[in-house]
Amino acid sequence: MADLTHYVILNSNAGTANATGVDAASLAKLFEANGLNAEIDARSDVTLSQRIADAMASAAPTVVAAGGDGTITALAAALVDSDKNLAILPLGTVNALAKDLHVPLALPQAVAALVTGEAHRIDVGEVNGRIFLHKVVVGLIPGLAAGREHIRGRYDTSAKIGFLRYIFRRLARAKRIAVVIETESGVRRVERIQAMAVASNSYDEGLGHFFSRGSLDRGMLTLYVLRHFTARDFIRLTTGMLLGRWKNDEALTMESVNSVTIDTRKDLIKVMFDGEVETLRTPLQFKIKPKALSVIVPAMASAPAVAA
């Protein structure tokens, strides 16, 4: 029997997987058709943490997250600073890291890309000891994201209109919060903000680059601060992002840092953690972990998003 090359953790409840009926049998056929020896873990009666532990204990050099961003982030946290690679089969709704790495979004093509995929190392962010791959957001945005849960899985027009109404109601009632920001320089400052994000590396500006990152190995965090965010700001900033002109928006400031601490008057604060709403204890202590994660990217003339 050929050596095990891929250990696949399949989240069959992820957005695309659930919608298209991807299961262990269909996924195994795709791997076999591409000459890849894979173990498919589709267990629904075992915790994700145990499944990840089993993957880490396997002989496979590459562990595949077949699911959404939540599955990918959880697996990446275990793989950081290890000798195993992370590969992605994008079966979620947003698939942010897969897009940054130019992984094909169609499942057959994504599996086929593993055959000639190349290992590259990327940065990850850390907050209070937890790994994140994209960004952590505080302030107004997590509250808006929470409203998304009411329409999750619904694609009808009434649900979308209802969500927009919810957004504009929240924007009209939103109040700024005071935060204390301290970067690695040791200088502390107080800001009154509507929202703030700390991202691993930085988001690109340009037509078609909507929350996409062209480089994932610059070794820096980017701090984004929104001091005000009215309905007018929302429309203007969203339009600017779609048109590729948003970095000079009057409501937004940015700075690159190696580490940053964010504190508030509250002991606990809601954040959007790689797309999921969670509660973290303050102060929030962020740092970058340069090239701490090995990822498999499609073989291309010029490697996407990362340097060799």
User: Could you tell me the CATH number of the domain that includes residue 152?
Assistant: 2.60.200.40
* Enclosing domain of residue 271: 131-290
156-to-144, 166, 167, 170, 213 alpha-carbon distances in Å: 19, 16, 17, 22, 30
Contact 139, 196 (CB under 8 A): yes
Lowest-confidence range among 65-79, 134-148, 208-222?
A: 134-148
pLDDT of residue 308: 46
Residue 258 falls within a domain, yes or no?
Answer: yes
Same domain, 204 and 88: no
The tens digit of pLDDT for each residue in 89-130 reads 999 888 999 999 999 999 999 999 999 999 999 999 999 999
Same domain, 164 and 189: yes
SS3 39: strand
Residue 283 falls within a domain, yes or no?
Answer: yes
SS3 300: coil
Lowest-confidence range among 70-79, 146-155, 293-302?
A: 146-155
Same domain, 84 and 164: no
Bridging pattern class, strands 221-226 and 177-183: unpaired
SS3 302: coil
Give the residue from 115, 142, 157 where a domain finishes. 115
Count: domains in the chain: 2
Residue 223 falls within a domain, yes or no?
Answer: yes
pLDDT of residue 1: 41
Q: Would you call the peptide bond into 283 cis, given omega within 30 degrees of 0 as the criterion?
A: yes
Residue 64 falls within a domain, yes or no?
Answer: yes
Same domain, 52 and 144: no
Residue 303 falls within a domain, yes or no?
Answer: no
Same domain, 162 and 77: no
Same domain, 179 and 215: yes
What average pLDDT does the segment 189-198 reach? 93
Q: Half-sphere exposure (CA, 13 Å, Cβ side) for 135?
A: 20
Rounded CA-CA distance 72/134 in Å is: 11
Rounded CA-CA distance 268/260 in Å is: 18
Rounded CA-CA distance 277/104 in Å is: 27
Give the residue from 115, 149, 182 where a domain finishes. 115
Q: List beta partners, residue 41.
A: 9
Residue 190 falls within a domain, yes or no?
Answer: yes
Same domain, 160 and 85: no
pLDDT of residue 47: 96
Same domain, 86 and 141: no
The tens digit of pLDDT for each residue in 2-43 reads 578 999 999 987 767 667 778 999 999 999 999 999 999 999
Closest CA to 73 of 114, 18, 134, 136: 134
Contact 263, 179 (CB under 8 A): yes
For residue 231, what are its two tokens?
A: 């309905």
Same domain, 192 and 56: no
pLDDT of residue 202: 93
Residue predicted with more confidence, 51 or 299: 51
User: Could you tell me the CATH number of the domain that includes residue 27?
Assistant: 3.40.50.10330
Residue 27 falls within a domain, yes or no?
Answer: yes
Same domain, 151 and 259: yes
Residue 219: burial class (beta carbons within 10 Å; 0-12, 13-18, 19+) = middle
Same domain, 227 and 162: yes
210: pLDDT strictly greater than 70: no
Same domain, 142 and 256: yes
301: pLDDT strictly greater than 50: no
The tens digit of pLDDT for each residue in 241-267 reads 777 677 778 888 999 999 999 999 999
Mean pLDDT estimate for the chain: 86
